[in-house]
Structure 1
Amino acid sequence: MNRKRPKPNAPQIERNLDRLGLFSIQARLGHTPSWQAAFVIGGRAVRVQGDSSRGRPHGADADLVLGLQQLFLQQGAPEDNWVHTSANALREASLMTKNGRAFHRMREGLLRIWSTGFIVTEGWRRPDGSAVRFNDAFRVIDQIRFWDQESMGDLPELVPDSTLSVRLGAPIAESLRAGFMHPLNRTVLERLEQPPSRALYRLSEAHRYDDEGTIRSSLTVNLMDWRAACGISSTDTDKIRRALDPAHQELMANNYLRDIHMTGRGQNTQFEYVYLTEADPDPGLVRLLREQGVGGPRAVQLARDHADRIHEAVEFLQHRRMAGGTPIRNPGGLLSDFLVNREKYEFDPGILAPQGERTVQSFLALERQREAERQAEQAAAAKREALSRLPSAEQWREERGALLLMLRRVLTGEELALLEAQAVAGTLLATELSSQATAARARGEWDGFVEGLRRRLRSGG
């Protein structure tokens, strides 16, 4: 049985859904059975293709997916990928207001999402210049079970308090289960009144994070690339700006954007989003967490939520290493668990006695601490297992930041290009390589690992 997880302090969003621009931010959209978009943002080239008998998901449909993700996590990320809830509970989790047509719109939105198949293509270049492309065909929702009723206007709507069951698509559920998320600011989400503003906020946040977890203080985007990512149907530059302007104004009014600079003309227009950064974490704390093996977006979230205890956590990790006993297989996971579940660990900063002077009481405390560490390691192992089931290119996308952080100083540019090409093609598996690299560092076998990796790259895997 899955253990229920505590309700997140901040809404968590799967990284790729918003970054890929699958849903249109427009509140109203004409019926289009198929569409495609290609764009480059932050150096990441993406091509998205969609097919749906009910038209492209848009507007508040993205709010429903956000709500489903929160409920999925609150219910312990069940292995069968089902979310069992009610229309009322989903409406609340989606931060949607209750009005006369809310449950009709929810019914239509869920069916629109269910009916849509996506093909996402991301491309790389091998060192010889030839192209290799990874294609992922999937649905965000695989199945829905619901009760509906006729409303006063003869429009079918969900029954508010009857059971509503939704099964997430396997790639989405596995990504959430493995922890590939970044946090959203609940205050900003609750203050934004219009679905296009909320959708643009999520899209902006998705591209604001880089692969190593750093949050940009500004983001520059080409107008036509941004149009494609936003799912705006018009290609007229004036209409694109007019479509974005209400969301821009609301994002600035709610202290998310400090300013928007526009340069260039026509299709060469560029937007620079300048963010309010007062609530951003100390970059020194993020760097400190990254050095201890914490993943990029997770390091940002921990530095923001637990800034006053980061140094204590690092000191705990140092003491744990000095205490001996079972080797720490996943120091980043242990440090994260210490910050989130502090009550599990008996540790007084600066007071831990040398091993020879421990009392029976301190020995028992250490045993309890190690049990907590074993639980944290089990959770980390489950996350690694979920990641290992993803396609090779998806594994590379998730592990890229951590691997480059470890290897960019010891491999040449040509070797790094070979690494990326082979990881995308599946000759090398990024998840396995990341675990091997972490273990080699912990055992003091780093030089041998790097040399072995060089031989594998030269031989083609």
Structure 2
Amino acid sequence: MATKDMVIRHDEPNLARLNLVLALNRTELSEWAREISVDAMGTISIRCTAPRHGLVPHGIDNDILLGLVNAAVLQGLPEDDTVRLSTRELLQLSGITPSARAYKNLQETLRRLQYTAYDLTDSWYDGTKHRWRTVSFSLISRLGAEDNTKDVSNAGQWRAETLLAIRLDDSLMSNIRAGHLLPLDTEVLSHLRQPMTRNVFRTLSFQCTGASQDSVLAFHVPLSIWATHLGMHELRSDSVMRALKPAHDELIKVGFLKSVDYTGRGKTRTIRYIFDNIRTVADPETVALLVRYNVSGSRALTLAQSYGAEGVQRAVAVLEALLQGSYKTKIRNRAGLLSDILENPDKYDTILTDVEGTAVSVEVDCKARRVETEESPAPRDEKSARMILLNQLDDTEERRRLRDRAVELYVHHRASTLELMKLLRLSDEEADAFLTELERR
């Protein structure tokens, strides 16, 4: 894993929003609980319990957790949910300068992340099924370390060559694998010197661009709730403001924030953040679409940010047209071809024109496709259809009927992949009308 490739930074939105690691550099807490409303997405309900005689995750533990998320992306989303790298590589990914002290701190951090238990009630967003879940987990489910050296002195003491095998929680990895990721401004992140500042930056990055598809200009929240959210339990308002001031000054200096204002007094005091530089963020559905065609998580984010939802959907339509035509036997790498269609659209001008309405359309019915190609369409099965639908139509009897109709249409080549995906954005009534239209044509 070369360091020159470690420039992309992604966060998992739950980690950014829920703030499972306290922002404070030091703590004496062995457990904490919070039930608060920070944004319009609903109540956050969490209980965190460290092992006996242990402390809850805090400070640089958040940086290490971010490093692990990025390791998972850079290593191609390992099927066994396990990232494998040296201690030096993990520290570099986490933005921490390797040193003897850093290796010792890393060992303590990973053990906290492994043995601390989190209980979340209707607060974990499942990026694969697009619903809120109640979950109990530890962020790291398994940790292994191996000394890659002949030096047997100081056995058990981690050093630069120590090789780590870290299995992340499956709920977390499932979201990462589905492209449920939040891009972070690498330039800003690299200039932030304190764990508190980086924690506030990650949390505000979600509120700036991750809580909705559109960027916002400002975010405000009661100071008492914000203090609890960041882990400043039972601190007076003036103490919270003093603790946050260095972080605010640094975020203003690097151009992430324009200003920080306070209004009101006592328990009614509110903090208001004005963002200075709103950046383009990838639409999660667009990222998920690319991931379905085996584009890696990091690559999917970059493409979604660069070309937007409309560009990606058009490129997918071109790819689907190729898969239904005489090119289908020649396509070995769908992800690579999809990337090439996005980056070099001029090479596919004829197909683009066809897809947009003249000769061939991905959304015409099966009969029209057979007229354009001498080969019959590739076979489809129910399993593929259900994967496209992400199990979103399985929760009620009525929605299961809609699902079965959609699967039937897909298997018999009367509905395209894009048309199945469109169902995910429709209400039950709209989906019924849409399926009726497909059944009639």
**Pairwise TM-score range, normalised by the shorter structure:** 0.5 to 0.7
CA distance in 2, matches of 1:444, 1:280: 24
Distance 1:80 1:209, change over 3 A: same
Aligned-partner Cα distance in 1 for 2:289–2:120: 30
Verify the 8 A CA contact 2:388 2:421 in the aligned structure 1. Answer: no
Structure 1 residue identity aligned to 2:204: S
The equivalent of 1:39 in structure 2 is 36
Contact persistence 2:316–2:338 (CA under 8 A): no
CA deviation map 1:281-333 (0-9, x unaligned)? 7xxx979x97x9889x99x96688425x887656656767888947xxxxxxx
The answer (yes or no) to whether the contact 1:143–1:168 under 8 Å persists in 2 is yes
User: 1:233 aligns to what?
Assistant: 233
Equivalences for 1:225-374 in 2 at 5 Å?
Answer: 225-277=225-277, 279-280=279-280, 305-306=305-306, 316=315, 325=324, 340-342=339-341, 347-348=346-347, 352=351
Residue correspondence of structure 1 range 16-415 to structure 2 within 5 A = 16-30=14-28, 32-43=29-40, 44-53=42-51, 54-122=54-122, 135-147=134-146, 157-277=157-277, 279-280=279-280, 305-306=305-306, 316=315, 325=324, 340-342=339-341, 347-348=346-347, 352=351, 384=387, 388=391
Name the amino acid aligned to 1:39: I
Which residue is 1:457 aligned to? none
Write the letter of the residue equivalent to 1:34: E
Q: Does the Cα contact within 8 Å between 2:10 and 2:184 map onto a contact in 1? A: yes
Q: Given the superposition, is the C-alpha separation of residues 427 and 136 from structure 1 closer, same or farther in structure 2, using an over 3 Å criterion?
A: farther
1:442 equivalent in structure 2: 419
Distance 1:200 1:166, change over 3 A: same
State the Cα deviation string for residues 109-155 of structure 1 (Å, max 9, x = none).
Answer: 111111100011137xxxxxxxxx95311110011112589xxxx99
Q: Which residue of 2 aligns with 1:363?
A: none
* Alignment check: 8 A CA contact 1:39 1:226 kept: no
Distance in 1 of aligned mates of 2:94 and 2:248: 21
* Contact 1:178-1:384 at 8 Å conserved across structures: no
Q: Residue 122 of structure 1: SS of its match in structure 2?
A: strand
Letter of the 1:48 counterpart: I
* CA offset digits 1:168-216 (Å, max 9, x no partner): 1111111111111111111111110111111111111122235542222
3-state SS, counterpart of residue 214 of structure 2: coil
User: How high is the TM-score relative to the length of structure 2?
Assistant: 0.68
With normalisation by structure 1, the TM-score equals 0.65
In the aligned structure 2, how far is the partner of 1:346 from the partner of 1:34? 54
SS at match of 2:43: strand
Give the deviation of 1:450 after TM superposition: 2.0
Segments of structure 1 that go 5 or more residues without pairing to the other structure are 1-5, 124-132, 327-334, 359-369, 389-394, 396-418, 455-461
Aligned to 2:438: none
Name the structure 2 match of 1:130.
none
1:237, 1:266 within 8 Å by CA — same for their partners in 2?
A: yes
Instruction: Return the offset for 1:9.
Output: 5.7
CA shift digits 1:383-440 (9 cap, x unpaired) = 958965xxxxxx7xxxxxxxxxxxxxxxxxxxxxxx9xx96x99968x979x879969
Distance 1:445 1:179, change over 3 A: closer
1:342-381 per-position Cα deviation (integer Å, ceiling 9, x unaligned): 48877447555769999xxxxxxxxxxx9xxx9xx9xxx7
**Partners of 2:18 and 2:112 in 1: CA distance:** 18
CA–CA distance in structure 1, aligned partners of residues 77 and 421 of structure 2: 36
Q: Counterpart amino acid of 1:114?
A: Q
Question: What is the CA–CA distance in structure 1 between the aligned matches of 2:105 and 2:427, rounded to whole Å?
Answer: 59
Distance 2:398 2:66 in 1: 35
**CA distance in structure 2 between the partners assigned to 1:156 and 1:242 by the alignment:** 40
Describe the SS at the equivalent of 1:306: helix
* CA distance in structure 2 between the aligned counterparts of 1:72 and 1:95, rounded to whole angstroms: 16
Partner SS for 1:22: coil
Provide the C-alpha distance between the structure 1 equivalents of 2:24 and 2:387, rounded to a whole number of angstroms.
37
Determine the C-alpha separation between the residues in 1 that align with 2:110 and 2:72.
15
The SS at the match of 1:89 is helix
Instruction: Give the superposition deviation at 1:72.
Output: 1.4
Q: CA deviation at 1:51?
A: 0.6
Give the total of aligned pairs: 371
Superposed CA offset, 1:23-59 (max 9, x none)? 10111111x2221012112222111101112211011
Question: How far did residue 86 of structure 1 move?
Answer: 0.9
Are the counterparts in 1 of residues 82 and 165 from structure 2 also a CA contact under 8 Å?
A: yes
Return the alpha-carbon distance in structure 2 between the equivalents of residues 253 and 8 of structure 1: 24
Q: Is the 8 A contact 1:105 1:157 kept in 2?
A: no
Given that 2:75 and 2:83 are in contact with CA atoms closer than 8 Å, whether structure 1 keeps it comes out as yes
Q: Quick one: distance in 1 between partners of 2:160 and 2:421?
A: 59
Does the 8 Å contact 1:103/1:158 carry over to 2?
yes
Matched residue type, 1:139: S
- Quote the Cα distance in structure 1 between the aligned partners of 2:31 and 2:228: 14
2-structure distance, mates of 1:190, 1:444: 38
For the residues of structure 2 that align with 1:84 and 1:236, how far apart are their CA atoms?
Answer: 43
Instruction: Provide, for residues 249-291 of structure 1, a one-character-per-residue CA deviation record: whole Å limited to 9, x for no partner.
Output: 111111111111211111211111111235447xxx979x97x
Output the CA distance in 2 between the equivalents of 1:224 and 1:448: 38
Superposed CA RMSD in Å reads 5.0
Deviates more, 1:105-114 or 1:228-237: 228-237
TM-superposed deviation, 1:242:
1.4
